[in-house]
């Protein structure tokens, strides 16, 4: 899952980025609003967390920019503006949720998960063959056996499952599972794919994760 955070307070922005990254999200941060709309349109984000009081361009203007081309993209306003009138204005302008500072990261994360489920009308349980993922609790089972994954391993697996039978390139994986500026020549993808294979495929009759030489990887139940 890839999240865009638009927040001019660097301490707050870095706090959000650090907390969500630990949960397995890929998080990009902008500290002003001038190019936030362009950024949201240029990349395939799963959600946006948006402050209202931004230098360069106001949060309301950014919200209008995003909604002009991405009507279904979940957007959460995170701001110090806490009056009823301001909340109503934010929601009426197209935001899907409105959260007031100061905030607890646990609540922000829970609201974000709710937006991702609701905004994309996604199933909370994903299945491929005997592999099952509960996306609400982030639980993974294969053939009924629970499999414990680290946050990035889980994020990678969910991305592969949501693209079942569709080959995904290394660069696309890096975009969605790691930060946009991640070093693409690193072997981090291979390391995590190997870790997933050891946990998801080892000991089972049919492997689900396959390498497509010269392309990338695919998760499929079809025989290779």
Q: What is d(CA 199, CA 140) in angstroms, rounded to the nearest whole number?
A: 10
**Bridge partners, 140 (sequence order):** 133, 147
Q: What is d(CA 111, CA 10) in angstroms, rounded to the nearest whole number?
A: 22
The contacts of residue 207 (CB under 8 Å, 6+ apart) are: 197, 201, 224
Q: How far apart are the first and last CA of the chain?
A: 27
Instruction: Identify the pLDDT of residue 182.
Output: 54
Instruction: Identify the pLDDT of residue 119.
Output: 53
113, 119, 163, 118: which is closest to 138 by C-alpha? Answer: 113
B/e letters for 185-220, b = 16+ CB within 10 Å, e = fewer, are eeebbeebbeebeebbbeeeeeebbbeeeeebbbbb
> Whole-model pTM?
0.68
Domains in the chain with CATH codes: 2-119 (3.40.50.2300), 125-219 (1.10.10.10)
Under-70 pLDDT residues of the chain: 119-123, 179-186, 223-224
Q: What is d(CA 91, CA 95) in angstroms, rounded to the nearest whole number?
A: 5
pLDDT digit string, tens, across residues 153-206 = 999 999 999 889 989 888 888 878 876 555 555 688 899 999 999 999 998 989
**Bridge partners, 210 (sequence order):** 218
Instruction: Identify the pLDDT of residue 77.
Output: 96
């Amino acid at each position: 899952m890839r999240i865009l955070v638009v927040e001019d307070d660097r301490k707050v922005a870095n706090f959000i980025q650090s907390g969500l990254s630990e949960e397995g999200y890929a998080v990009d941060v902008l500290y002003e609003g001038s190019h936030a709309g362009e950024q949201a349109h240029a990349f395939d984000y799963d959600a946006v967390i948006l402050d209202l009081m931004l230098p360069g361009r106001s949060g309301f203007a950014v919200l209008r920019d995003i909604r002009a081309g991405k009507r279904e993209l979940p957007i959460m306003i995170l701001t110090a503006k806490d009056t009823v009138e301001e909340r109503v204005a934010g929601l009426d302008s197209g935001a899907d949720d409105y959260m007031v500072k100061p905030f607890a990261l646990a609540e922000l994360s829970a609201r974000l998960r709710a937006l991702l489920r609701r905004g994309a009308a996604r199933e909370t349980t994903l299945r491929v063959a005997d592999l099952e993922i509960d996306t609400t609790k982030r639980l993974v089972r294969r053939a009924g056996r629970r499999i414990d994954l680290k946050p990035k391993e889980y994020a990678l697996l969910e991305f592969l499952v949501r693209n079942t039978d569709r080959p995904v390139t290394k660069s696309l994986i890096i975009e969605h599972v790691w930060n946009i500026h991640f070093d693409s020549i690193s072997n981090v993808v291979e390391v995590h794919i190997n870790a997933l294979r050891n946990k998801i495929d080892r000991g089972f009759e049919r492997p689900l994760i396959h390498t497509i030489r010269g392309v990338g990887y695919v998760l499929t139940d079809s025989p290779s």
